[in-house]
Amino acid sequence: MRTGWQGDEAHRYRTSGRRCPLAAAPISAAALSAPAPASAAVSSVYGISIPEGYRGWALIAPALEDAPFDELRVVLGNPVAIDAFRRGIRPFPDGSTLVKLAWKRAPSAEFASATVPGAATTVHVMVKDSKSFATTGGWGFGRFIGGQPVDEARHQTRFACHDAKECDRDWVFTRYAE
* Confidence at residue 166, expressed as pLDDT on a 0 to 100 scale: 64
Structural domain boundaries in the chain: 41-167
Instruction: Look up the CATH architecture of domain 41-167.
Output: 3-Layer(bba) Sandwich (3.50)
Q: Residues 16-30: pLDDT tens digits?
A: 333 444 433 333 333
* Confidence at residue 46, expressed as pLDDT on a 0 to 100 scale: 85
Q: Residues 74-85: pLDDT tens digits?
A: 999 999 999 999
Below-50 pLDDT ranges, the chain: 1-39
DSSP track, 43-100: -TTT-BBPPTTGGGSEEEEEEEE-TTT-EEEEEEE-HHHHHHHHHT-SSPPTT-EEEE
